[in-house]
Structure formats: C-alpha cells, structure tokens
Chain A
Amino acid sequence: MLKLLEGPQTLGRGKVFWSSFLVVLAGALTYPLFADSYDVGNFAYFLIWIFMALGLCLMWGYGGMLSFGQTLFFGIAGYGYGVLAINMGGGTATIVALMLSVVLAMVAAGILGYFMIWGGISGIFFGIVTLSATLVLAFFLGQTAGPEWHIGSARLNGFNGMKGMDPLTVGDFFIEGSTLYYVMIALIVIVYLALRMLVNSGIGNVIVATRENPQRAEMLGYDVRKYQLLTFVIGSGLAGLSGALYTSWGQFITPSSIGLPAAAMPIIWVAFSGRSDLTATLVGSFLLLFGFQTITVYSQQAALVLMGALLLATVMLAPQGFVLGIGKFAADWWSGHRRREESPVMAEAGRLQSEET
C-alpha cells in the first residue's frame, strides 16, 4: 500500500522529497511553540481551506472536471454542521455533527453528480451547472432571514448567517487555538497521503485515463461515469470538510461564504498552484491563502483584485500553474546538477574499468 505514495500521478519521490516533507512537517508541528496564539489561530484558519483545494485538484487536475461549485458543498456541510451541532446540543456530539455534515455534502454531490454525469454534462457545461447550483443555494440562504426559516432550533438568519453552534468539542474540552491547529495538521497529512495513494492506485489510473480520453477508457471496459462520480463525491466531501471545519472554527457561517467571489477562490488557488499535482496545490494554496489574508488586513478589495490578476497571469503565462512550474524547474535543475556531479566520477570509473580489462 505504501508504495502507492509514489507513482506516475504525483511529483515528488525519493529520499530528498520525503526528507523535505518531514522537515516541513516538523516545522509545522513546532510552530505553535514559538508563535503567539493569534498567529497559530490564523494558520489554522488557512489550513481549513486546503481540503477544498485538494478536492478541486482531484476533480479538475486529475479527473478533468472543472467544478465551479466547491462552495456549494462547503456551504451544505457548513450549514449542516451548524444545524446538527445546535440541535444535537453541542459537546462531543459536535464530532458526530462534523462527520454527518461531510456525509451530507457527499450525498448532495452524489445526487447532483449522478444527474450531471449520467446526463452527459462535461467540459465547460460542468462548470456552468455546478456554479448555477452554488448560486441557487447562496441566493436561497440569503432570503432566509425570517423566523420561519429554521431547522429545529437552528435559525438560518439570511445574510446575517447562522451562529450559536459550539466549536468541535470532546467532553468539556473545546478544540480551538493550538489544538485545532494540530487537528488541522493531522487531517491535512492524512488527506494528502490518502489522495496520493488514491491517484497512484488502479482507480487513479482510470481517473486520469478518463480525463485524457474518456472514450478510450470506456473501450477498455471501464464505466467511466462511476469513476467520475466517485471523483466528484470525494472532491465535494473534502469541500464539505472545509465547510464544517470553517463553521466550527468561527461558530458562524453566512451565504457570502458560498456566493460567486467565494466560489472563484478555489479555482484561483488550484490554477495558480498547478492543478495536476497534489503537492503543488497544497503548497500553492497555503501561500495564496497566507498572502490573501495578509493583504486583506489592509484592503479586502486589493486582495480580490490581486487574486483576479493572479488568475489572469496564470492563464496567460503558466497554464499548468506557477508552483508546479517552479517545482518542475527545481527538480530538473537538481537532477541535472546530480548528473553533472556524477559524470566525472562515472567517466573515471569507466576509465579505470577499461584499464583493468
């Protein structure tokens, strides 16, 4: 199984890559020891969105399905967590609420995905339909301000958003601050490694084959629709995980976290990073989220304009993604450097061998 951590669908292999991975992980684990709690909380917030980016990377980069609707599932799980946590009474039940809300997002993705994929919707139309569904949910939630809009004791509250749910809790212990940060790190490591194994497995082979040439994949005996649906459900479930964690983190959620500007963000993160690789998406999304948050402190409009400019620059200059491009360049430079270093040694070894014979 562990062999699947490396394979043709993922960049990064060998001792150098995994040593770097461990160094970064060690840095992430020790970060709360020397950073103040505000910064740690902010980092936990950035990390919440990484799941949605990885999910879109799987769907778009590996599966060839550009979903503009990641925030639809983010919103379903985010509101789902709120409704469940409020109605189940908080406490350890919030963990169950988190899991059920992710399942809810996956079921919604299964239903929407079934009709789209079995209906033959693909390419740009896939993006249009998912965006439409996202906007429908955002507009619907925006008009739920009246007291009649409630599920159990959870008020939806229109544009003001839902609030009053507990954060993730175990017994009497709230998972916040540094604890939440460590939970995020653990979840990201698990999801990242699991996705690497998925895309390098036989299922991953069929997912990329379907992206490359769905007719040929079907002609090899694969019902490509099932693989596309699986990809869509997993990717949407990850968006849902981001949504539920977001609601738990801030103890609120509003329709603006689902609407058009929010829906465009995951596409920018993944496009800029390099949609065809999980590692590039992980690194690039984190950098963009960090940069976006830093600029937002001074001007939210400037941050949004910068995101738009980055998307434009990516499309015009590096359609495969900036982070992925830089990563490939660095890998090529490193292997070239190694070859140059080894070639005199190899030449000397060859010379000695020929002298011996």
Chain B
Amino acid sequence: MALVEVKGVSKHFGGLTAVSKVDLAVNAGEVHCLIGPNGAGKSTLFKLIVGLYPPSQGSILFDTVDITAERPYARVQRGMSIKMQAPSVFKELPVRQNIRIALQERLSGAERIAEEDRLLTLLNLGPDSEKLAGALSHGQQQWLEIGMALALKPQLLLLDEPTAGMSPDETFKTGELIKSFNAEGMTVLVVEHDMAFVRQVAQRVTVLHLGKIFARGDLKGILQDEKVAQIYLGKTHAH
C-alpha cells in the first residue's frame, strides 16, 4: 500500500518546468531512493512532497489523504519528517536544545531527557551536546538534523542528500542507521547522488531526468539499465 502518492504533479518556475507530470508511489515500509543527474528535479519534487512548494498541477496524497493544500507543519503532524539538503539546524542554540525542540511535543520530563540522551549517543553527539549547533562540523550538523528528523518518530522519513559532506565511513554508518529504522517499520524516501549509498540502502529506485520519471524499479534492474547509465553517469555503467 502506498504511503505517499504523487499524482500528475508539475512545477513551473516562470517558463522553466522543473517537474513535469510526475507520478510516484512510495510504499509503506520501503526505502525508496530518488536519483538522477543534476537538474533532474529531485529536490524540487522533494519540496513539493514536503509542502515547501505548491504544485502547479497535480495532487499529493499521504496515507490516502489529499495533502496538496496543506502547509509543511500539517504534513509533519500527519507523520512526515524531513532532513533538508543543506544542514538546517538552529545554529545559535545548543545541540541538546535542537533535539529537545524536536522531541518536546511527543515526550516530556524524564522520558524526554532519556530519549535526548539516546539520540545524542546514537548520533555520536553526546560529548558535544552543550555546544552550539553552529560550532559542529558539517557532517555533525547533518547527523544532528537526521536526529531531529528521527526525534519525531515519523511514519515517513524524507532525506535530501543525507550524506553530503560526510566521509565514506560516516556515509556507511548513516546507511546502516537508515536500514535499522526501516527494519522497525519506518518508510524512507531518500534523494541521493552517492550510488554506493543507494546500493547500500535502496529497495526501490526512481530515476528522474529533466523533470520527468525516466525509470523505476528495484535496485538491481535500475543498475543494469543501459539508458539509466547513459543519462546518469555518461556511458559508464552505474556499478
């Protein structure tokens, strides 16, 4: 069953069509990767799902409810959680307070403090919990933002290039983290460039090219698709 359905969605910026009549279904419980070359419209589609852009046409359903006209906060309250492409944390606030702001609607008192500690440990941010978030390295800010997204305990986790700026080791750990949350039943939609990461986590893949769906299927099929290799990596195979 589809948790998110994008139906015939287009987005125009003046004369530019960033996304054109896209249909996409993300099934409950899967890790779905959205890939494509630069300018393919991945981040735009992501922002349409999140509600940061209103679509020029088409509709978006979450858990069978039409959310096209809803603001981002209402979509989050329905069970979405988002990690943006560029680190988007509260830089002038301590790391722990960043997590607390994400948690405080769900938990309170000792339970909340225990969950803060658990997430900080999970993200290797325990020793830096009293530092200002802006003082963290780029990779740590990415982890902190993932932690804030996870703190909401969402049904659907949306990650826009979660490993940008991370070392290979950090990237691998992030992949394992995503897989562990998926194993607990969380649906994950990832926009990602790093094919090693996609291979590590993806169960299904959708390829966007020039704002349109170019291909979709399971990971193995996509990696063996000659046309995908051509548009995505020149004429080289994707593996």
Q: Which of A202, A205, A206, A219 contacts B76 (CB 8 A)?
A: A219
Q: Are A206 and B72 in contact (CB under 8 A)?
A: no
Q: How far is the CA of A221 from the CA of B77 in the complex (A)?
A: 5
Fill in one digit per residue for B51-91: 1 if any A CB lies within 8 Å of its CB, else 0.
Answer: 01000000000000000000111101100011010001111
Q: Which of A8, A220, A224 contacts B148 (CB 8 A)?
A: A220
Q: Which of A205, A206, A215 contacts B88 (CB 8 A)?
A: A215
Q: Which of B73, B93, B152 contacts A8 (CB 8 A)?
A: B93
Tell me the residues in window 205-223 of chain B with beta carbons closer than 8 Å to chain A beta carbons.
Answer: none
Which residues of A sit under 8 angstroms from B131, Cβ to Cβ? Answer: none
Tell me the residues in window 326-345 of chain A with beta carbons closer than 8 Å to chain B beta carbons.
Answer: none
Q: How far is the CA of A213 from the CA of B76 in the complex (A)?
A: 16
Task: With CB as the reference atom, state the residue of chain A lying closest to B148.
Answer: A220
Q: How far is the CA of A8 from the CA of B148 in the complex (A)?
A: 18
Tell me the residues in window 1-43 of chain A with beta carbons closer than 8 Å to chain B beta carbons.
Answer: 8
Given contacts A212-B90, A213-B88, contact A219 B82 (CB under 8 A): yes
Q: Are A220 and B88 in contact (CB under 8 A)?
A: no
Q: Are A213 and B89 in contact (CB under 8 A)?
A: yes
Which residues of B sit under 8 angstroms from A220, Cβ to Cβ? Answer: 76, 101-102, 148, 152
Fill in one digit per residue for A219-232: 1 if any B CB lies within 8 Å of its CB, else 0.
Answer: 11111100000000
Which residues of B sit under 8 angstroms from A208, Cβ to Cβ? Answer: 90, 93
- The verdict on B97 contacting chain A, using a C-beta distance below 8 Å, is yes
- The verdict on B139 contacting chain A, using a C-beta distance below 8 Å, is no
Main secondary structure of the interface of A (DSSP, over half): helix
A354 CB to closest chain B CB, in angstroms? 26
A144 CB to closest chain B CB, in angstroms? 42
Given contacts A216-B88, A216-B89, contact A8 B71 (CB under 8 A): no
Q: Which of B93, B94, B104 contacts A202 (CB 8 A)?
A: B104
Which residues of B sit under 8 angstroms from A217, Cβ to Cβ? Answer: 101
Q: Are B92 and A212 in contact (CB under 8 A)?
A: yes
Which residues of B sit under 8 angstroms from A222, Cβ to Cβ? Answer: 73, 105
B38 CB to closest chain A CB, in angstroms? 23
Which residues of B sit under 8 angstroms from A215, Cβ to Cβ? Answer: 52, 72, 88
Count of interface residues, chain A, beta-carbon cutoff 8 Å: 18
B89 CB to closest chain A CB, in angstroms? 7
Task: With CB as the reference atom, state the residue of chain A lying closest to B72.
Answer: A218
Q: How far is the CA of A206 from the CA of B104 in the complex (A)?
A: 10
Size category, B interface: 20 to 34
- The verdict on A209 contacting chain B, using a C-beta distance below 8 Å, is yes
Q: Are B73 and A209 in contact (CB under 8 A)?
A: no
Given contacts A8-B93, A220-B152, contact A205 B101 (CB under 8 A): yes
Which residues of A sit under 8 angstroms from B148, Cβ to Cβ? Answer: 216, 220
Which residues of A sit under 8 angstroms from B152, Cβ to Cβ? Answer: 220-221
Tell me the residues in window 73-132 of chain B with beta carbons closer than 8 Å to chain A beta carbons.
Answer: 73-74, 76-77, 81-82, 84, 88-94, 97, 100-102, 104-105
Q: Are B50 and A219 in contact (CB under 8 A)?
A: yes
Task: With CB as the reference atom, state the residue of chain A lying closest to B83.
Answer: A219
Q: How far is the CA of A219 from the CA of B50 in the complex (A)?
A: 9
A60 CB to closest chain B CB, in angstroms? 15
Given contacts A205-B97, A209-B101, A221-B152, contact A216 B72 (CB under 8 A): no
Task: With CB as the reference atom, state the residue of chain A lying closest to B89.
Answer: A216
Which residues of B sit under 8 angstroms from A221, Cβ to Cβ? Answer: 73, 76-77, 105, 152
Q: How far is the CA of A224 from the CA of B74 in the complex (A)?
A: 11
Which residues of A sit under 8 angstroms from B89, Cβ to Cβ? Answer: 213, 216
Which residues of B sit under 8 angstroms from A8, Cβ to Cβ? Answer: 93-94, 97
Fill in one digit per residue for A183-220: 1 if any B CB lies within 8 Å of its CB, else 0.
Answer: 00000000000000000001001101100110111111
Fill in one digit per residue for B130-143: 1 if any A CB lies within 8 Å of its CB, else 0.
Answer: 00000000000000
A4 CB to closest chain B CB, in angstroms? 13
A208 CB to closest chain B CB, in angstroms? 7
Which residues of A sit under 8 angstroms from B93, Cβ to Cβ? Answer: 8, 208-209, 212
Which residues of A sit under 8 angstroms from B81, Cβ to Cβ? Answer: 219
Task: With CB as the reference atom, state the residue of chain B lying closest to A219.
Answer: B82
B160 CB to closest chain A CB, in angstroms? 11
Which residues of B sit under 8 angstroms from A223, Cβ to Cβ? Answer: 71, 73-74
B118 CB to closest chain A CB, in angstroms? 18
Which residues of B sit under 8 angstroms from A218, Cβ to Cβ? Answer: 71-73, 76
Q: How far is the CA of A205 from the CA of B100 in the complex (A)?
A: 8
Which residues of A sit under 8 angstroms from B100, Cβ to Cβ? Answer: 205
Q: How far is the CA of A224 from the CA of B71 in the complex (A)?
A: 11
Which residues of A sit under 8 angstroms from B104, Cβ to Cβ? Answer: 202, 205
Q: How far is the CA of A293 from the CA of B94 in the complex (A)?
A: 40
Q: How far is the CA of A222 from the CA of B81 in the complex (A)?
A: 12
Which residues of A sit under 8 angstroms from B102, Cβ to Cβ? Answer: 220
Please give the residue numbers on chain A whose beta carbons come within 8 Å of chain B beta carbons, in ascending order.
8, 202, 205-206, 208-209, 212-213, 215-224
The 6 closest A-B pairs by CB, nearest first: A221-B76, A212-B90, A202-B104, A218-B73, A216-B88, A223-B73
5 sampled A-B residue pairs with Cβ under 8 A:
A205-B101, A209-B101, A216-B148, A220-B101, A221-B77
